[in-house]
Amino acid sequence: MAGKISISITDEHAALLQEAVGSGAYASSSEVVREALREWRARRIVGELWDEGVASGRAEAGTTMTDIKREARNRRSAS
């Protein structure tokens, strides 16, 4: 579902937007904004996962990377 909103940005941000489109890296300013939002969401998710990992405490002694991967696969298949 596509929605239309109007935003105000600084002259500096407008120049960056135009530069991104002008360089050919993006086809439109909307594409630049969509990519920025995807990146923002990804950083937020990584931050939440980091916080979750820190809150879970230290790994048990003797835990191997194989053990960690197995547990992650089990959690993923359970959800």
pLDDT, tens digit, for every residue of 9-66?
A: 999 999 999 999 999 999 999 999 999 999 999 999 999 999 999 999 887 778 889 9
Q: What is the mean pLDDT of residues 74-78?
A: 91
For the purposes of burial, counting CB atoms within 10 Å of the CB of 33, is it exposed (0-12), middle (13-18) or buried (19 or more)? middle
Gap between the Cα atoms of 44 and 49, Å rounded: 9
Judge contact between 29 and 21, C-beta under 8 A. Answer: yes
Nearest to 53 by CA among 71, 66, 74, 78: 71
Q: What is the mean pLDDT of residues 68-76?
A: 93
pTM: 0.65
- Token pair for 14: 């407008």
pLDDT at 55: 93
